[in-house]
Structure 1
Amino acid sequence: MKYYIMRQYTLIEGSPAIDGVPDNVDSLEWIQGKAMTNPSDEGPLILDLALESGDYRGDIIDGFLTLYSDELKDALEKFGIDNVKFYPVRLRDQDTNETEGGYWLANILGLLDCVDLNKSKVKPWTTGIGYDFLSMVIDESKTNGLKIFRLKDDPTKVIISEEVKAHLESSDCLYGVELTLTEDYSDW
């Protein structure tokens, strides 16, 4: 089975970015693959757009937190993905104080140790502690059947199966999204 890294394609002019997170949100906790509680008791979580954000809105906004568009959320749910919990957010323009919806904070459950280091290509760090990937191979037998998950070796990476990729492509909800075959991925 093939796997893909799914992330925001940030080279599109006008791509949005989030400017920090509210004090009650620990962004490191949100990438650990564990169940989180709704960060806002009073409706959608308000997140400030970075001042350099333009008008382009793709289906993913990455950064401190992972945000998925309404369309991407719906497509994942229609596929039967049940290990992602979604919490509504509103994006606030810091200049006008106006907010917009259409995005969800994605709590991806599943932090897996499933990289086959024997088949992957790695470059050890000079410190001897850690490595960079030159190519990454996922061991399907260690995915517990999950079709979307985060990597224990690098929890900032969201991995999807080729079935999810095909479904998302047919659902036309990959605007501004970069999908990289894990074998073609390199930290360099």
Structure 2
Amino acid sequence: MTAQPDADELAVRNRLRIFLHGPVPQPQPPAVSDPDDWWDRLYDDEPTKPGKGSTPSAPSAAPPTARVKAPASSKPSPRQSLLDAWAGISPRLRWLIYHGTAAALGWGLGLTGWATQCTAWIAADRWANPQSIACYALGLGGVALHRRSRGWWWPVAWLATVPASAIVLGVLLYAPNS
């Protein structure tokens, strides 16, 4: 027997879907004809059929509907390069993959645990201690390295992102027990 998700879990799911895929597109109202196209309707080359009950000079009661193009297939072409596939991913998801993998490498190297322990140590009333200031400087140095390396060759830029992503994850994972 499986448990049904509660309201909080459903709310988190919906927020994650919106964050990763963007808002759900709303159906567009049908296109309305231009009110200034009466001249074209009046002098149309094809006369209306006599069985319709309207004369060529009378405008129709219902506006003509515009043809809607069929949506292009959302399925990507099976033959594309890895860079084309990467470019087809939404920017939010690319950001999440980039920083998530960098934080995962930082976790494996122990940077995330170190950042969590430093945050706990500083939170125990050691805000202005010289060691705390050194931790602040190391954290700001990681962020500065990430900012500086954005335009570098992507593997080097990704490696420079590891400390910043791991430190941010470590600070976010800190949860006081009291």
> Normalised by the shorter chain, which TM-score bucket?
under 0.3
RCO greater where, 1 or 2, for CA within 8 Å and sep 6 or more? 1
The structure carrying a bigger strand percent of its residues is 1
> TM-score when scaled to structure 1?
0.20
More helix by share: 2
Of structures 1 and 2, the larger Rg is shown by 2
